[in-house]
Structure 1
Amino acid sequence: MARYYLYSLKIVKIIVYIWILFIFFSIFHFNEITTTSEGDLVIIAFFDGVRNIFTYAFFGLIYLIAIAFIQLTSFIFAINPDFMFNFLNQFMRNLLSLWFTFPSGTTPLLTEIPDLIMTEFSIFTADLYLFSFQILIILSTIYFIRSFLQNNTKNDMLAVGSLILMIVIPLIVFGFRDMLDLFHVSDPYLDSIPNPLDPLFSQIPIEDFFQFLASPVILLAIISYIYLELAFQINYTDTVTKPSFQRRDRLETQLQILESESHFVVANVDKIKEEAKKRKEELEIEGKESVNKFLMKLEERFSYVKEMIEKKKLEEEEKKLITAASKTRRLGSYVESLFREDPEARDTITARSATPKSQTLALSTLINFTSRLLVLILLSFVIIHPLWFFENVFNLPPAIIESVAMYSPEVVIVLLIPSG
């Protein structure tokens, strides 16, 4: 039953992950990161940007190597450098450029290549910003599938962490832009990239506790915590129950072998005796012939001794096999009678009763999970909205309550720590 409990937790975890995706895509506009501002697919624009940067860089490198070679040969052989540079320009623009595909369609001059690389790199970073979200959603899906196949909480943390990182990246980027605005500094690049986050991120209701819980942002955090709780509970359940099930399967296999062998042990004993009897008769016949040979020929005396030793070994092996078969038969009869007299004997022998009950695991999970979740929600609300607690719980004076520093999460957490 404990394994069924484990499978039910996995099914619940799948439902919770789908719930996370549903809430996530309600506050994260995925259509903002699938295409560029020109309407091209981000994945195509990303690899085009990589190709363009390497095209300009490689073409410029060849150009520089050729110029260095011309200068060296002109110095050594006293060749007119103007003629060589003119030849190089014609060669690069009319012949070598056919091997390259430039975004503008025209072969650039050497002096234009650095500016073109910087322009392409600026476009590439914007595409990389958008493409990173697509990579993260793919990683989240892959690690979620791995977490279902393997009971490793690392996969679950990476699955949820990839989604959280998709929220953290825009918050960092546009938080940095807002910080620059405080110093009256603007960056056209930061102003041009899209923000996939919904405005709800800046509109979390903190005055009402139930509206606070119903907010998609807070709900996403709570559901993500529930998902990780389920993941750790699945890992714990598997760790606790797996040794018991392995031991039970091993003992049940041994009991099945014992039962099957005990049924055929009588036939095996008779077969062993019959084969031993035939072998003895063969050895007796061979022994008589060997005695005659022993009396007749001196060189064949060792053959007779060898046959006597083999006969002795056969008798010893017969005794061992019969003894082992007899013990197996007695043990099988004892186990069979024990199972008839005590219906719970099989569970006791196979250690099935030592496996944790699913009811116990479920009750423990429910109590621990509920208590931790309630504490998490209350602490989150206190840290985000500390005014009521400052006035009614801590009884702080108005001068301290109205201080801006008192509303920082660090100060609230310090106040919540019990004093010695």
Structure 2
Amino acid sequence: MRTDFDAELEDRLVRYAAIDSQSDSHSPTVPSTAIQLDMSHLLMDELRAMGASDVTLSADSVVLATLPATAGVNAPVMGWLAHVDTAPQFNASGVKPVVHRGYNGGDITFADAPDLRLSPADYPYLAEKHGEDIITASGTTLLGADDKAGVAVVMTAARHLLENPDIAHGTIRLAFVPDEEIGRGVTPNLPADLAADFAYTFDGSMPGDVEYESFSADAGVVKITGVSIHPGWAKDELVNALHLGAKVLMTLPHVTMTPETTEGRDGFIHAVSMTGSAAEVEIHFILRDFEMAGLEAKGDLLRQVCETVAATEPRAQITCDITHQYRNMRYWLEKDMTPVDMATAAVRKAGMEPVSGAIRGGTDGSRLTEFGTPCPNIFCGMQNVHGPLEWVSVQDMARATQVALNLAASVAELDPPA
């Protein structure tokens, strides 16, 4: 069944997904890739055209805008967030979105990858989408519904409120953030820039999801310097950094502590990339756990492994640097569950049963909550993200849009902050 928002959501996602905006963890710039600003500037133009106020690009390249409160409403300020970047894990250049209207329930094929299949036999939730409108990419890229579906939801809800002043709501602040996929989009400046009492990211998957618990996360960088020499004269002289890097990887508990061997509330150590040569190697890791003690233990383990491998070859230099990324937002939100309770009520009002699981990942809300603005995560419908089988139902995006509008109405009924 199509809704009043379907056409707009479809149009927005198709247009947004076709814009290259992949982030790059190896880049030191803000944003990490200049192409993200193509999305940002488009959103600024669209926000101004729809009548939003205070449309600006912050020093941290966050698009900010205001939906002013309707006359007579004095309520807490709510924020809505989504991120403009797409994941660096898979090709995201030249995305060609494909709309499969009135999905027939069978396998979905891809024009640019004839052997690829998106099958309800492999992804049971797809079987529930019979008759809905499914958007995929063309087979050689990800789609980018993470989080351009969230961007489409926020923009559609914002446009609806601006064009319908009879819908009472408090001030709503919008933020479209770069570099979420590499954990750098939300900086300590954002709480003041956003100026919201609480907020929501629209960056979740299944309809009904209201998430207030995420991984805690650190990043690890291991640098190995060997002894380089011409291989013809290498006997007893060469120290191959690649071999030592392999030892580090194989010494870690790869059978019990990697993403592909863990689930539920298990944490992991994930080797993301290994680059270099026989002379020098750099290995990038991400460390994840729901509890701080578990995260710290994983950092200690990585350091210990590096020390052990270094002891086998004193001529090499091995360093291990662990840096903070984000923390489990539950630590703050459980102290005042009001934003979570409001979201679950908004989901129920939209005809769904709320589900609050622990995210095996993080969102901008994880960092924003840590920096002082409570920010649970709400679904936007994206599925199978970060790969060529990514898809989203237009009707699931419409369900998320209705949740946003329900939140706007419910906040209007709250007492203003003291």
The interval holding the TM-score normalised by the smaller chain is: under 0.3
More strand by share: 2
State the TM-score, normalizing by the size of structure 2.
0.23
Choose between structure 1 and 2 for higher RCO, CA contacts under 8 A separated by at least 6 residues.
2
Query: Normalising by the residue count of structure 1, what TM-score does the alignment of the two structures yield?
Result: 0.23
| Bigger Rg over Cα | 1
